[in-house]
Amino acid sequence: MQPGVGPYAGAGVMKNAVRAEWTKLRTDAVTLVLLLGAVVSTVAVGAAVAVTSRCDAPGCGGDAIRISLTGVMVGQVVVAIAGVLMVGGEYGTGMMRSTLTALPRRSTVLCSKATVLTVVLLLTGTVSVLGSLLVGGLALPGRGFTEAHGFEPLSLADGAALRAAAGSVLYLVLIGLLSQGVALIVRNSATAVGIVLALLLVLPIVAQVVGDPDWQRHLQQIAPMTAGLTVQATVGVDELPLGPWQGLGVLALWATGALVAGGGLLRSRDA
């Protein structure tokens, strides 16, 4: 085998590509501010909803975990913008040409970007979700979410709570990857952000407007946000249009499809 050829050489190229993407990300002040903003907005909105919610009697129908994690719906917008800019920013400045010159194998470019974004969003999402649950655990008992009303203290030792927490972290990661894939497809940050936000926010509105219950349920099952956020539910799970992990799987299919399409176009088009 020739020097520099084979799996070890491939692993070295991938390692260098990941290191390069990490350097770009950590030296980009805009992306760092966005990631911090995702944490702050997620926790702040969750706290605001928690302190304004009430459960005045047993059987009030609230879902303490989901209330605490409401901020994920806002944090996802910031995460989507960060995911888009990781690719769209390079197309906007022309840096993508340099990236593809240094790394002609475009699948390596795609994998390195997705890997760095995944790791960063796993950390961002974990901090956001744990912070939200901590604030919710402190605020909700004072709003009537007590054992006397049928609510156990928030704890990740509970299987449903752990699933909601872990699923919310994965949800944010998948939103970032979906956004990155869309940015690779359209190669324009503003357009990509618009498309992602339309997928996340417009489809649920359309589902609410549709009068037919069957069509409404189908739209909820395929919309990336409504399907993906079912993973947060710990109350009334049997009434959901999809099971929690099934819903997250729908979002994973959206993200995979966007990355596959984006990767295919990355290989077939000039920078």
Q: pLDDT tens digits for 206-261?
A: 888 887 888 889 999 999 999 999 999 998 898 898 999 999 999 999 999 999 99
Q: Is the pLDDT of residue 2 over 70?
A: no
At residue 32, the pLDDT reads 93
In angstroms, the CA 133 to CA 72 distance is: 11
At residue 9, the pLDDT reads 52
Between 191 and 59, whose confidence is greater?
A: 191
Span 35-83, pLDDT tens digits: 999 999 999 999 999 999 998 888 787 899 999 999 999 999 999 999 9
Mean pLDDT of 122-144: 96
Q: Is the pLDDT of residue 164 over 90?
A: yes
Q: Is the pLDDT of residue 8 over 80?
A: no
Asked whether the beta carbons of 252 and 89 are under 8 A apart, the reply is no
Mean pLDDT of 137-142: 94
Span 86-124, pLDDT tens digits: 999 888 888 888 888 888 888 999 999 999 999 999 999
